[in-house]
């Protein structure tokens, strides 16, 4: 096993942290709905069944997103798939806050669920494909850590916004209800996720899979893990 001293460890950690933001949004998007249930019921004049579906609809999208994420990543690349998930998070966060009916809200939450499901697959996959073997397990565990952090900050944000407004159904900044701002807070981490993803390299494993070995080599050389994977990638290139 090669030493991490041979690697550009700060860059590897930075790229892994960017990918792990998908886990943060996983947790945040899953937790943010908890502070808005009563407000949504009042805003959409929905009964218990429709309110329950409003809350649970994200799970349907999550299952679909997780099912198709791998195929999308193999076809378009890990980076493009992650960027798509980030865009879905942004649209979902904005749309959930501007929804005027349960049907409209469910559409946006389903889109958010697609992003959650995709991020749950793509983020750890990307980390695993750029990380050296000696620290791969520890870096992939960032995904689990950021999920918990996302849940924490969602509850923290929900509490503070509801307290400042005097309730989730109360009017808050610029005439919008507090529950709307609760969803819009997610725009901050989702936009950061999208912005940072624009600057990360594609997974070298994917580049080899689509016969772009030279680009894969350049990525590995930047991460300084080419020596450790040289023989393995030679075998892949010869297939």
* Overall size of the chain counted in residues: 239
Choices 1.10.10.10, 1.10.1270.20, 1.20.1250.20, 1.20.59.10: CATH for 4-200: 1.20.1250.20
pLDDT (average), residues 39-54: 84
Helix (H) or strand (E) holding 123: helix 102-130
Q: In 3-state terms, what secondary structure has residue 171?
A: strand
φ, ψ of residue 171 in degrees (nearest 5): -70, 145
Q: What is the pLDDT of residues 55-99, one digit of tens each?
A: 888 889 999 999 999 999 999 999 999 999 999 999 999 999 998
Nearest to 42 by CA among 143, 135, 180: 180
User: 99 vs 104, 149, 195, CA distance in Å?
Assistant: 6, 27, 25
Domain ranges of the chain: 4-200, 203-239
Single out the residue of 189, 113, 197 nearest to residue 154, CA to CA. Answer: 189
What is the residue whose two structure tokens read 């400042």? 164
Q: Give percent above pLDDT 90 in the chain.
A: 51
- On the CB side of 210, CA atoms within 13 Å amount to 13
Alpha-carbon gap, residue 70 to 112, rounded angstroms: 17
Mean pLDDT of 210-215: 86
Phi-psi region of 166 (alpha: psi -120 to 50; beta: other; left: phi over 0): left
Q: Which residues of 218-231 are buried (b: 16+ CB within 10 A; e: fewer)?
A: ebbeebbbbebbee
Percent of the chain at pLDDT > 70 equals: 90
- Nearest-angstrom CA–CA distance, 177 and 184: 11
Highest mean pLDDT among 6-20, 72-86, 201-215: 72-86
208 neighbors 237 (Cβ within 8 angstroms): yes
36 confidence band (pLDDT: 50, 70, 90)? confident
Residue 104 has pLDDT above 60, yes or no: yes
């Amino acid at each position: 096993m090669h030493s991490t001293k041979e690697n550009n460890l700060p860059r590897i950690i930075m790229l892994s942290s960017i990918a792990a933001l998908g886990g943060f949004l996983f947790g945040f998007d899953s937790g943010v709905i908890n502070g808005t249930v009563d407000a949504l019921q009042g805003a959409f004049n929905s009964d218990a069944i429709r309110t329950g579906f409003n809350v649970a609809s994200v799970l349907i999208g999550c299952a679909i997103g997780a099912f198709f994420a791998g195929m999308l990543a193999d076809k378009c690349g890990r980076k493009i798939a992650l960027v798509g998930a980030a865009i879905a998070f942004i649209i979902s966060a904005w749309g959930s806050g501007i929804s005027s009916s349960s049907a409209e809200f469910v559409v946006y939450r389903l889109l958010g669920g697609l992003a959650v499901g995709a991020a749950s697959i793509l983020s750890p996959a990307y980390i695993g494909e750029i990380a050296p073997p000696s620290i791969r397990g520890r870096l992939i565990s960032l995904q689990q850590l950021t999920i918990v952090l996302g849940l924490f900050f969602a509850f923290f944000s929900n509490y503070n916004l509801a307290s400042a407004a005097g309730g989730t159904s109360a009017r808050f900044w610029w005439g919008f209800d507090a529950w709307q701002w609760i969803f819009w807070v997610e725009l901050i981490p989702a936009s950061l996720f999208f912005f940072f993803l624009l600057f990360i390299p594609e997974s070298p494993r994917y580049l080899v899979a689509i016969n772009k070995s030279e680009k894969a080599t350049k990525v590995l050389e930047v991460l300084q893990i080419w020596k450790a994977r040289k023989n393995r990638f030679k075998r892949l290139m010869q297939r």
